[in-house]
Amino acid sequence: MLPLTLLVLSISFFLVQSAPGSPFASAKSTEAAQARMRAKYGLDQPKHVQYGRYMARLAGFTYNSATAGYEWRPYPDFGESLSYQGRTVNDILLAAVPVSAFLGLFAYAMALVLGCGMGVLAAVRRNSWVDNAISGFAALATALPSFILGPLLVMLFSLTLYWLPPARLEWAFEWGYLRIPTLRTILLPAVTLAIAYVGYIAKLVRSSLIDVLGQDYVRTARAKGLPEWRVVVVHALRGALLPVVSFSGLALADLITGAVAVEAMFAIPGMGHYFIDATNARDYFLILGLTAFATIAVMMANLFVDIAYTWIDPRIRYE
C-alpha cells in the first residue's frame, strides 16, 4: 500500500505541475505580484526541490523559509490552499471528507439493501416476469448517468411535487467537523448516486445466487425439510455475497471520493465540490491533498474486502 500510494502521489505531483496556467494569474495581478506569491508558496523553486519538500510534508516535516529548516509534526501536512486564502488543505479535508463519507455510505447502504433484495427475488423467480422486470430495471439503472438522473429527480420531486429541496444540505447534527445532514436534504443526491449501484448489485446477486442454489449443500438443506426462505437467506445467500463484497470495495471508495458531478449538481460541500474548485483555480496543493485521500481510501477499501472474504467464506484463508 505504501509504495503504491507514493507512486500515485509522485505521478500526480508532476502531472499537476505540468498543467498549463498559474494559480496566481489574473487580469489585475502584475508579474511582480505573481512572483511574490510563487516565492511565498515555494513554487519558484526547481521541480525536484518542490517535490522533495512536498514528500517531506507528507512525512510531517514542514519546511520553514524563515529559519531555512524543517519542523516536524505528528501528522501529514498537505500545505496551504492557494485558492482558499487563510485555510490549509488539512482543514479543508477535515470539513469535506465527513460530508462525502456520509453521502457515500448512505447511498451504498441504500444500494446494498435494494440491490440484494431485488437480486434474491430475481434468482428465486428465475425466468418469470418478475425476473425480467428486475433485469430490465438493472440494465436501465446501470446505463443511466447520474448527471441525467439527478436533474430528472429534481424536476419531479422538487419542482413538480415540492416534496424535497433541490439543492444544499441542512444539518441535523453538528459537532466540530462532524456534520450529519437531514434525511430530506440528503435523499435526492443519495438516490442519484445509489441507482446505478442498485443495478450492479442486483445483477451480481442474481447470477451468483442462481449458481449457489444448485450446490449440494443447498439441496441437502432442502432435503432436511427447511423452509425455502431459510434455505435461501441463511444457507445460500452468504455464499452468493462474495462477488458483492469484491464489488463493494471499489464501489465504496468511488462513492466517497468520486461523487464529483452529484456534489456539484446538488451544491454539497464535499470532496467533489472542492476538487472542481481546485482544478479551476490550479490549486496544486488542494488537488494533491484530495488525490492522496482518494488513493488511501481505495487502498483501505481493498484491504477490508480481503478481510471480509475470510469472514463470509471460512474456506478462504490468507497465509
Share of the chain above pLDDT 70, in %: 95
pLDDT at residue 111 in the model: 92
Q: Is the pLDDT of residue 257 over 90?
A: no
pLDDT at residue 190 in the model: 92
- CA–CA separation, 24 and 283 (whole Å): 9
Q: What is the pLDDT of residues 99-150, one digit of tens each?
A: 888 998 899 999 999 998 899 888 888 888 988 999 999 999 888 888 888 8
Least confident of 18-27, 259-268, 271-280: 18-27
Mean pLDDT confidence for 192-214:
88
Check: pTM over 0.85? Answer yes or no: no
Domain boundaries, given as residue ranges, for the chain: 2-72, 89-312
Q: Is the pLDDT of residue 265 over 80?
A: yes
Highest mean pLDDT among 57-66, 119-128, 172-181, 220-229: 119-128
pLDDT at residue 318 in the model: 55
Q: For residue 61, what are the CA distances in angstroms to 71, 188, 200?
A: 5, 42, 44
pLDDT at residue 118 in the model: 92
Q: Write the class of the CATH domain 89-312.
A: mainly alpha
pLDDT at residue 136 in the model: 92
pLDDT at residue 26 in the model: 65
Q: Is the pLDDT of residue 27 over 60?
A: no
Q: For residue 187, what are the CA distances in angstroms to 99, 163, 190, 193?
A: 14, 11, 5, 10
Q: What is the pLDDT of residues 142-200, one digit of tens each?
A: 888 888 888 999 999 988 988 888 888 888 888 877 888 888 899 999 999 999 899 99
